[in-house]
Amino acid sequence: MPTFSDRIDGLRPSPIRTILSVVDRPGMVSFAGGLPATTMLPDWSGSFAPDLLQYGPSEGEPALRRAVAERLRALGVDAPDDRVIILSGSQQGIDLVAKLLVDPGTVTAVEQPTYLAALQVFRFYGARFTDLADPTASLAYAVPTFANPTGACMSDAARAALADACRDSGTVLFEDDPYRELAYDAVDRAPIVARMHGASWVYQGSFSKTFAPGLRLGFMTASADLFDRLVILKQAVDLHSSRLSQQIVLDAVSDGDWTDRLERLADFYRARRDDFDSLLTRYLGDLADWRRPSGGLFFWLTLRDRIDTRTLLDDAVAAGVAFMPGEEFYADEPELGTMRLNFSHSDSADADRGLAILADLIAERIAA
């Protein structure tokens, strides 16, 4: 059994949410919820079914949950249709998991470096960080497939080892997987949680990178011992995710074009990655080391001279170029001289101009 946070003792399902789940029955008169009059909702009947403007289920729209569950099962994840939650962005999933499992002092294993907004959430709940190999951790958070910030993808052997280690030590594995579809090379990337039968795990993904981040939609599934509590936490946070956003995403994933869309996306970003890689070689080949990522959105650079990239950023912004200093992605001891560069957003001309400026600034710093 996982160790839940102390606050979970006080967690109760919302009685209103429970009652609302029965008010749709034909002939039911409901004085229960605070539902607006259907006739007074905006009339968008040309675009959306009117009931999408009413309150909806906390777990998400059944058809979208089903579509997500099918996709996850195809990846080998144990995700029955009724064990999927639609999230208001996968960032929300990190908050829900931290609420469920992290108390002040809870030993939380992370990769170093790792996704900085996950560190922000775990830190807020009082996590004590350790590395992924630590068997005393209650929770292990990992982005094994095209990680943010490094772009790294765990080998099949590393995935198997992490699954075994978590199962042996009773550590809950939280696999955060928003970049899976943005794959540019053939690499091992089967979800780790697919190997965790009988253990405690959470898996989440996002529609931000495959579709549109402004819709704020992600999805989560979890082992049965965790799932119901995650739903109650979701109720308490925002009742449910936007039904309009969910309908828009459902239409997109149900469209026969979805698989083609993902392929076009990967082709487009693969070309950007390759172009960026050549530009890096031209401008920073003597100044930095990096590994070309097989997927995702980022190059991770280590400068040969370990200058502090946080102060470099000030000069860069003044010169019209922004990047993420690598120091921000470490739970404790940061490695100096590291930086994360996004390659998906800039076109070739902007990437060329930005990297030329950055290279000049780095060379100036080293010479100083």
Q: How far is the CB of 298 from ligand PMP (least distance, A)?
A: 9
Helix (H), strand (E) counts: the chain: 10, 11
CB atoms within 10 A of CB 117: 12
Q: How far is the CB of 315 from ligand PMP (least distance, A)?
A: 25
**Residues 156, 190: Cα–Cα separation, whole Å:** 8
Q: Toward ligand PMP, which CB reaches closer, 143 or 303? A: 143
Kindly give, in sequence order, each residue whose CB lies less than 8 Å from that of residue 22, ignoring residues fewer than 6 positions away.
28
**Residues 95, 188: Cα–Cα separation, whole Å:** 28
Q: Toward ligand PMP, which CB reaches closer, 178 or 191? A: 178
Paired sense of beta strands 201-206 and 338-342, if any: unpaired
Write the CA distances from 61 to 55, 156, 282, 288, integer angstroms: 11, 34, 49, 47
The residue number whose beta carbon is nearest to ligand PMP equals: 89
AA letter at 154: M
Q: How far is the CB of 178 from ligand PMP (least distance, A)?
A: 5
List contacts with ligand PMP (CB under 6 A). 89-91, 115, 143, 148, 176, 178, 206, 208, 213, 218
Q: How far is the CB of 144 from ligand PMP (least distance, A)?
A: 10
- DSSP assignment of 297-318, as one string? SEEEEEESS---HHHHHHHHHH
Q: How far is the CB of 209 from ligand PMP (least distance, A)?
A: 8
Q: Toward ligand PMP, which CB reaches closer, 76 or 213? A: 213
Q: How far is the CB of 208 from ligand PMP (least distance, A)?
A: 3
**Residues 117, 365: Cα–Cα separation, whole Å:** 29
